[in-house]
Chains A and B, each alone.
Chain A
Amino acid sequence: MTATAHLQACLAEIAARDGRIAAFLHVDEVAALARARELDAQTQAHGPLHGLTIAVKDNIAVAGQPMTAGSRMLAGYAPPRDATVVARLLAAGAVLVGKTNMDEFGMGSSTELSGFVPTRNPLDLTRVPGGSSGGSAAAVAAGMAWAALGTDTGGSIRQPAAFCGLAGLKPTYGRVSRSGVVAYASSLDQVGPLARTVRDVARVYAVIAGRDPLDATSVDVPLEPVSWREDLGGLRIGVAREHLDAADGLDRQVKARIEQALAELRARGATLVSVSLPHTRHAIAAYYLVATAEASANLSRYDGLRYGQRTANPPTLDALYTHSRADALGKEVQRRILLGTFALSAGFQDDFYQKACRVRRRIAEDFSHAWQRCDVLLGPISPVAPWKLGEKIADPLAMYLMDAFTVAPSLAGVPALAVPVGRDAQHLPIGAQLIGQPFAEATLLAVGDVLQRAFTPEAA
């Protein structure tokens, strides 16, 4: 199949269904087709992703294409340079389909908090696709792209992957360059792939990972090729009681899927061991302080001066700032900026931001201790199956609690992989989370592949 034919199938799907799903904020058909034809004209494969269609979350820069990060604040903005991950995809021969919808600046778990339009779950249009990379997940699930890039700060790749029946990887912090990626919480943000299979995720991951001189937090740890496996003899899978038996609000059907996943892995030779991650219950609080504190500074540049939206005829400089930001930033973004500003304020910083940083170190220690007993951890991603649009929109705290299982690996900086493990009684997809040791993505992917094929043998 040519790159052009492949792309045209995606574009046809977008034309037919994206009016309803709203996975994309921007599709440049002309540029994408020109790129596909150019690749088809080449006699040799351009690279490992030759002719494959990839959708890019709209907080990742593609030179000359609009980039809004889901915010009306950035309507009309186009970055001058490609993000490093985009440059690597292009060098590997990928065809970029378009920019995908997201919760504004990555702040949300359902993609209902996009500044433009909510995205719907292609598997059930009454339900959310998860978030904040909901547009990326929906695009792949609907066949509008072979794979997609998302970003994950506290679960924003893993949870939408789970909600749309996909695989999705949040790499180790520092593994993938953040250069050209709109920052939400810089110490947590990582770019990663979403795709139908773990093996496809691995192909994209191998292209985008690696040290980048433009990102001082990216690290130079050699990438190991994945050794695909058939059995898991000798592998120790950790099960944290905080993720299963002692987990608050974990849906019965989700729990049943995770238990079946564990049984499947044991059946393939893995040993199951019980571990404890005692600080898990503090993870949500720590995450929402650290992430919002960093966001409060990261989003200060959206002041209406150099780019983005500016209020008309402000009487004073203060009015320019406050009106531009109040008009163009969504309520959830404003809520998080205020929370983060408060957490950093004089007199409160010790009790909030600093304390959250101490909890973060304890959470990282929990994982370090667990690695003495197991190679990977397995648990849930979301405590519940995809919910209906509007169901949780009025209750921010209820929405935050949906991140209970995904934020701890983010705080610890360890890699985590979403793997589809079947459906619930309403035929909604359920995902399991495999959590790995730092920079051990290869192990994570190999185990994830075995797990996915246990449920869907054709997903090789």
Chain B
Amino acid sequence: MSAFEAVIGLEVHAQLLTRTKIFCSCEVAIGGEPNSRTCPVCLGLPGALPVLNAEVVHLAVRAGLGTGCTVQLTSVFARKNYFYPDLPKGYQITQAELPICLDGQLLLDDGKVARIQRIHLEEDAGKSIHGESGTRVDLNRAGTPLVEIVGHPDLRTPDEAVSYLRELRGILVTLGVCDGNMEEGSLRCDANVSMRLVGQAAFGTRVEVKNMNSFRSVRDAIAYEMTRQVGVIADGLAVKQETRLWNMDLARTESMRSKEEAADYRYFPDPDLPPLHLDRIWLENQRANLPELPAARKDRYARELSLDRNTANWLCEEPPRADAFDRTVANAPELAGSFATFLMSQVQGQLQRHERPWSDVAEAMPTLLRICGKWRAGQLSNRMLAEVLQAGFGDSARTLGAALALAEAEAGAVVSDDAALEPVVDAVLGQFSNEVSKYRAGQKQLIGFFVGQAMRQLAGKADAKALAALLIRKLEG
């Protein structure tokens, strides 16, 4: 296995966040009565003509600028010809020779730069629903605007592929180009995977892997495919050029169709759509008005807030998360580092446990920052913090912010004044006289034991620092 390396390139389809379809004014949405969001254009009725949605161009240009592409001032729509029941015109309108963006790049976690070959605009097809009584076609999705982002085969490991996809997704979501939802298919990823001997320049035979709807699937499918191809080669056989589907349940790729008889799509410029010309000044305006991108944001977190790479990556993975974080710590920059760690280590787990969406946290951020501050200052004990979070996240009757504030109020304050702590401390020292002797003989680590015992007596509501200080005074005084 070690003698081989993988050559991986990703093709990513991102559904654009427009209100209407790419060539007609039907609404873009998920679900609904089949064929309810259709019109003569997206049904392909005789005589219907496509008219390009300007917002589609705007978003594709943002995608290109965000990924360092050269946006083309002239691009051309083309027809890709094939017959399929969910393709109503018998051709897909896409861009072939002259796409809207060329030559971009993404910076991966390991510091490597992976190149993007092109970004082109195209319309989505409908959906074929195969059932027992035959196949039915729903054209609600037909004409949904997509960009296809084609990467160079610069990736070598499943982790690099995931890093590429995460980075790309972060950019698209930050720019409002795509909602980034892989499960619902608004972000779809196909991987071209081949194997070659380390040091060999030529590429091996390439297999296209489809049907991966999570980062995990991408990683697992590529890893599986690498092992499978090495196995084929080890058996003295040739890897077949084909398309394979990732079967998540069986954790394997399965042959879908052979590419030996390569389809001829007979691309040619679509005569219904004039070449798309962009204004240079408009384009420069677009470039100047891009928001901060994830890579710059991570750098800023490292530079200004001293966040470690893991925490910064985690925050930036979901741009709305980082947006809410930035808004919240704007007035408390000194708390930013500990608050980020708090979100990742304490809040993330609660979210998953209670199956709540991230947007709940975004709303509750100011409350969480206050709770985090109190906890860091010792005004909330670990136990109290856990109880507050558990109560707040478990309360579905009110907003998370309100629920947390309520739990926080109910938790009250820690006991920290010596007058209240002293009777408990005295009782603990009296109860564990053996340990007291050992401590005084030099086993200073027993301080934790005494704190724990006292804390238990105080139902976890004591200020641990004040408790430890009092214990030390009593033991050493």
| A residues at B contact (CB < 8 Å) | 59-61, 67, 69, 74, 77, 79-81, 83, 178-183, 185-187, 213-217, 293-294, 296-297, 299-301, 303, 305-307, 317, 321, 341, 344-346, 349, 353
Contacts and interface: CB of A to CB of B under 8 A. Distances in A.
Contact of B88 (A182, A215, A306, A341): A306
Interface in B6-43: 40, 43
Given A183-B272, A216-B274, A344-B81, 10 more contacts: A60-B47, A79-B45, A180-B47, A180-B48, A297-B91, A299-B90, A300-B90, A306-B43, A349-B266, A353-B268
21 contacts: A67-B46, A69-B46, A79-B47, A179-B49, A182-B47, A186-B271, A214-B51, A215-B49, A296-B81, A297-B79, A297-B89, A297-B266, A300-B89, A301-B44, A301-B46, A303-B83, A305-B88, A307-B46, A317-B85, A321-B83, A349-B266
Contacts of B40: 79-81
B273 interface: yes
Contacts of B273: 216-217
B223 interface: no
Contacts of B264: 345-346
A299 to B, nearest CB: 8
A74 B83 contact: no
A-B pairs with lowest CB-CB distance, top 10: A300-B90, A187-B271, A186-B271, A344-B266, A180-B47, A182-B46, A346-B264, A301-B44, A301-B89, A297-B91
Contacts of B137: 305
A346 B266 contact: yes
Contact of B47 (A181, A305, A306): A181
Interface in B86-116: 88-91
Contacts of A349: 266, 268
A279 to B, nearest CB: 21
The A contact surface, by secondary structure, is loop
Nearest to B51: A216
Contact of B272 (A60, A217, A341): A217
Contacts of A69: 46
B45 A80 contact: yes
Contacts, number: 97
Among A69, A179, A301, A341, residue most surrounded by chain B Cβ atoms (within 10 Å): A301
B49 A301 contact: no
Contacts of B85: 305, 317
Contacts of A180: 47-48
A297 B47 contact: no
A74 B46 contact: yes
Contacts of B83: 300, 303, 321
A346 B263 CA distance: 10
B268 A300 contact: no
Interface string B261-277: 00010101001111000
B464 to A, nearest CB: 71
A217 B271 contact: yes
Contacts of B48: 179-180
A6 to B, nearest CB: 28
A84 B388 CA distance: 66
Contacts of A178: 47, 49
B272 A186 contact: yes
A294 B271 CA distance: 8
A79 B83 CA distance: 23
A61 B272 contact: no
Given A344-B268, A349-B268, A353-B268, A303 B49 contact: no
B204 interface: no
B46 A79 contact: yes
Interface of B: 40, 43-52, 79, 81, 83, 85, 88-91, 137, 264, 266, 268, 271-274
Nearest to A320: B85
B79 A217 contact: no
Nearest to B41: A214
Contacts of B43: 306
Contacts of A67: 46
A297 B44 contact: no
A307 B50 contact: no
A405 B182 CA distance: 57
A83 B40 CA distance: 12
Contacts of A353: 268
Among B50, B52, B137, B272, residue most surrounded by chain A Cβ atoms (within 10 Å): B272
Nearest to A317: B85
A326 to B, nearest CB: 14
Contacts of A344: 81, 266, 268
A180 B49 CA distance: 8
Contacts of A296: 81, 266
Contact of A183 (B47, B81, B266, B274): B47
Contact of B49 (A187, A214, A345): A214
Nearest to B43: A306
Contacts of A307: 45-46
Contacts of A214: 49, 51
A77 B47 CA distance: 13
A296 B46 CA distance: 14
Contacts of A183: 46-47, 272
A214 B49 CA distance: 7
A301 to B, nearest CB: 5
A174 to B, nearest CB: 9
Contacts of A216: 49-52, 272-274
Contacts of B50: 216
A82 B88 CA distance: 21
A34 to B, nearest CB: 25
B154 to A, nearest CB: 28
B54 to A, nearest CB: 12
Given A294-B271, A297-B91, A300-B83, A306 B44 contact: yes
A83 B268 contact: no
A293 B271 CA distance: 11
B401 to A, nearest CB: 47
B37 to A, nearest CB: 16
Given A216-B52, A293-B268, A300-B83, A61 B47 contact: yes
Nearest to A60: B47
Contacts of B44: 301, 306
A342 to B, nearest CB: 10
A303 B46 CA distance: 12
Contacts of A300: 81, 83, 89-91
A317 to B, nearest CB: 7
A21 B297 CA distance: 76
Nearest to B91: A297
A345 B272 contact: no
A296 B166 CA distance: 41
Contacts of B271: 185-187, 217, 294
A213 to B, nearest CB: 7
A388 B179 CA distance: 65
Contacts of A293: 268
A372 to B, nearest CB: 26
Contact of B268 (A179, A297, A305): A297
A78 B264 CA distance: 33
Nearest to A322: B83
A185 to B, nearest CB: 8
A213 B272 CA distance: 13
A3 to B, nearest CB: 27
A64 B412 CA distance: 74
B46 A77 contact: yes
Nearest to A346: B264
Nearest to B44: A301
A301 B91 CA distance: 8
A67 B43 CA distance: 17
Contacts of A79: 40, 45-47
A294 B79 CA distance: 10
B90 A301 contact: yes
A290 to B, nearest CB: 9
Nearest to A81: B40
B47 A341 contact: no
A103 B219 CA distance: 57
